[in-house]
Amino acid sequence: MIFNRTMVWRSQFSCLLLLLLLPLSALSTEAQKLDDMLDAVYERRVQSDPILATKLGRRSGMDAWPDLSAEAYERGVAEVRADLTRLHRDIDAEQLDSTAQLNYSAFEADLNLRLERDRWRYHINPINQIVGLHLEITGVLVNYHTVDDVAAAEAYIHRLASVGEPVDQLIAALKVREARGFQLPAALFPRLIQSAQSIASGVGDDNVILSDFQRKLQKLALPEAQHQALLQGARAAFDGAFAPAYARLVAELQAEQARARGNDGVWRMPDGDAFYRFLLRQYTTTDISPDEVHALGLAEVERLHREMDAIREQVGFDGNLKDFLAHLKTDPQFYFDNSSEGRSAYLALAQQLVDGAVARVGEVIPGELPAPLRVKRIEAYREKSAPVGFYEAGNVAEGKLGTVYLGMYDMAGAARYDLPALLFHEGVPGHHLQAAVMQTEPAIPAIRQYYTWWQNTAYTEGWALYAESLANDMGLYQDPYAQFGRLAGELWRACRLVVDSGLHARRWSREKAIAYLNDNTASSVENNERAVDRYLAVPGQATAFRIGMGKLLELRERAAAGLGEQFDSRDYHALVLRSGPVPLHLLEQQIDRWIATASRQ
């Protein structure tokens, strides 16, 4: 089914795009050598990471966890150095076609980034309230570990029983980091500890892990005695190993919380200014400076305030923009009830918006959406500390759905006017379209389809923010308040530029950062506090959204000017998406090559 859709889609592409991204006939010898190398490195990474293997739908390693020891880390760094040496020694980049050259350059950039990250291994937080092993373990069990036979059920139980080793390895890494003078900001500990405690709390149906196992086990229709034996095995593993491991992690975090010293940005760390410049390079894939980030943010905030004030006038609100923002934060008409009925209505509206965007995907790319999309509530174990919404890619080959998760812990933080932009960002034409195209594009090797969260953020998040404005071009925002929500979302990313650089380069306090968001956005105080804690936990990442979006808009304008009447935005979007996650300078090379090729026709 997916193959047929992909073929129909390709038949509608221009010859220029086919020449750019698809081999003309058989791969050259050098291109085949590169493909073999990329496949080998990918397989090695999958084999060494049982979590990734499970996410890919593989059964290998489904009873195991990754080795997080210091020795395993050093082996990984050595492998990266060896990979880079082999790439330069064994592959002649000059002999590659354009598709292979892009894959070569993207792989080379990835290896160099991994080596540069090694310099900052103790600066980088191994765990926080947003990402970390404690959430990965739960996420892979609940969302990816399929129990389709007894062996898979037994593997699930073995994972519960063996979780102590990676958790203890994480605790050891935290101790080493603190001993070297690196600590988490104090404000991060309450959310982090709460999320870890919630995973191991509850009994039976009240516990996220045990209830998940029981629900999956019921689908096997086993004899009662075997069913009960497996349930008892899971409970014994959970009580005897899983819960105690999480208790040890919580105890370590509580001990570190008692020793935490304030909420300063990374400037306080050794070489903190250089570390922040590295983080900006990593996340934006540009050489933008902290001062440039801050200045861009301030300019964008000013522009967006003007556009939002025009909507205030349009709806006839009597007061200034700050009054209007306060009105939007507090007026009940903009929120669903904080009840099961209110949450159901919120989900129903979300599904309606998603369906409307999916029906018009042909206006964004030639062809159809390669994979369906679902919307669901964030699970209880991570809802309180999670963002208001996020996307998790499915697996097209395995038939696993991409999912937009929505937070509904407190409906006072889920304004209905924010929902359209959120869904267009996370779903279609945003992250889901991006992921679905990538997974069905054979020119993107597997090693580039499954990247870590810190790779090529400007490309992935830049597209999603670009998608919010693209939805406006498509007329998907149906009233002034939804338009205001779109602008509020863009304003939010502009404020991130100001606040992130403020915290980590200009030595802002946490309180000053929260106050800035309170004064300049329509977001609730709770969401603003949560956001600032996110920027403290993952410094630099939040800047990539607006930087990436800006580059995509710039490249679209360049292509439109260079191609004139030949320009079709659908072809531009297809080229961007089918290039896959790459640093922005490599994407720019792709667009420039497209323009130059078309100009010669």
**Strand, helix or coil at 472?**
helix
Tokens of 204: 């039976």
Is the CB of residue 183 less than 8 Å from the CB of residue 265?
Answer: no
Quickly state the pLDDT bin for 155 (edges 50, 70, 90): very high
pLDDT band per the 50, 70, 90 thresholds, residue 19: very low
Between CA 319 and CA 291 the distance in angstroms is 34
Q: What is the pLDDT of residue 449?
A: 87
Q: What is the pLDDT of residues 230-254, one digit of tens each?
A: 999 999 999 999 999 999 999 999 9
pLDDT for residue 16: 47
Residue partners of 435: CB distance under 8 A and separation at least 6: 371, 391, 393, 394, 402
Give the model confidence (pLDDT) of 50-107 as tens digits.
999 998 889 999 999 999 999 999 999 999 999 999 999 999 999 999 999 999 999 9
Burial per residue of 332-366, b for 16 or more beta-carbon CB atoms within 10 angstroms, e otherwise: eebbbeeeeeebeebbebbbebbebbbeebebbbb
Half-sphere exposure of 479 (CA within 13 A, CB side): 7
| Nearest Cα to Cα of residue 478 among 554, 424, 425, 537 | 424
Main-chain phi, psi angles of 530, to 5 degrees:
-65, -40
Confidence of residue 140 (pLDDT cuts 50, 70, 90): very high
Q: What is the pLDDT of residue 385?
A: 65
Q: What is the pLDDT of residue 38?
A: 97
- Does the pLDDT value for residue 21 go beyond 60? no
Concatenating the DSSP letter of every residue in 182-234 gives ----GGGHHHHHHHHHHHH-S-GGGSHHHHHHHHHHHTT---HHHHHHHHHHH
| Cα separation values, 391 from 23, 181, 376, 487, Å | 32, 35, 10, 21
Residues 6+ apart with CB under 8 A from 238: 160, 207, 209, 210
Kindly indicate the confidence band of residue 397, based on its pLDDT and cuts at 50, 70 and 90: confident
pLDDT band with cut points at 50, 70 and 90 for residue 3: very low
The more confidently predicted of residues 3 and 73 is 73
Q: What is the pLDDT of residue 227?
A: 97
**pLDDT tens, residue by residue, 364-382:** 999 999 999 999 998 876 7
Residue-level pLDDT at 6 = 34
Structure tokens belonging to residue 511:
């309180």
Closest to 244 measured CA to CA, from 160, 156, 177, 175: 160
Per-residue model confidence (pLDDT) at position 593? 95
- Partner residues linked to 406 by β-bridges: 377, 389
User: Which structure tokens are listed for 44?
Assistant: 């090695």
Per-residue pLDDT averaged across 2-31, rounded? Answer: 47
Instruction: Please give the pLDDT value at position 27.
Output: 53
Determine the straight-line distance between the first and last CA of the chain, rounded to whole angstroms: 35
Largest interatomic CA distance in the chain: 73
Backbone φ and ψ for 279, nearest 5 degrees, come out as -60, -40
Residue 470: alpha-carbon gap to chain centroid: 20
User: From CA 217, how far away is CA 538, in angstroms rounded?
Assistant: 37
Phi/psi for 271 (5° steps) reads 55, 35
Checking if the pLDDT of 302 tops 50, the result is yes
pLDDT, tens only, 451-509: 777 889 999 999 999 999 999 999 999 999 999 999 999 999 999 999 999 999 999 99
pLDDT at 14 over 70: no
| pLDDT at 22 (0 to 100) | 46
Could you please report the per-residue DSSP string of 103-116? Answer: HHHHHHHHHHHHHH
Q: Is 9 a residue whose pLDDT tops 70?
A: no
Query: Model pTM?
Result: 0.89
Model confidence at 4: pLDDT above 70: no
Q: How many CA atoms lie within 13 A of 123 on its CB side?
A: 22
CA distance 472 to 474: 5
Residue 205: per-residue pLDDT: 59
**Could you tell me the sign of the dihedral formed by the alpha carbons of 593, 594, 596, 600, in that order?**
positive
Q: Express each pLDDT in 253-292 by its tens digit.
A: 999 999 998 999 999 999 999 999 999 999 999 999 999 9
Q: What is the pLDDT of residue 201?
A: 86
Give dist(CA 277, CA 273) in Å, integer: 6
How many CB atoms sit inside 10 A of residue 257's CB? 16
Cα dihedral across residues 10, 14, 17, 21: positive or negative: positive
Closest by CA to 458, choosing from 553, 522, 361, is: 553
**Which residue type, as a one-letter code, is found at position 575?**
L
Contact 249, 242 (CB under 8 A): no
Share of the chain above pLDDT 90, in %: 82
Looking at residues 101-125, what average pLDDT do you find? Answer: 97
Sign of dihedral through CA atoms 128, 131, 133, 136? Answer: positive
Contact by Cβ (8 Å): 90, 33? yes
Q: What pLDDT digit, counting tens, does each position of 541-589 carry?
A: 999 999 999 999 999 999 999 999 999 999 999 999 999 999 999 999 9
Residue extents of the structural domains in the chain = 133-266, 274-549
For residue 316, pLDDT over 90 is answered with: yes
Query: How confident is the model at residue 138, as a pLDDT?
Result: 94
Give the pLDDT of residue 380. 78
CA 567 from chain centre, in angstroms, equals 31
Q: Which value, in Å, is the radius of gyration of the alpha carbons in the chain?
A: 24
Beta partners for residue 392, in sequence order: 403
Q: What is the mean pLDDT of residues 200-229?
A: 89
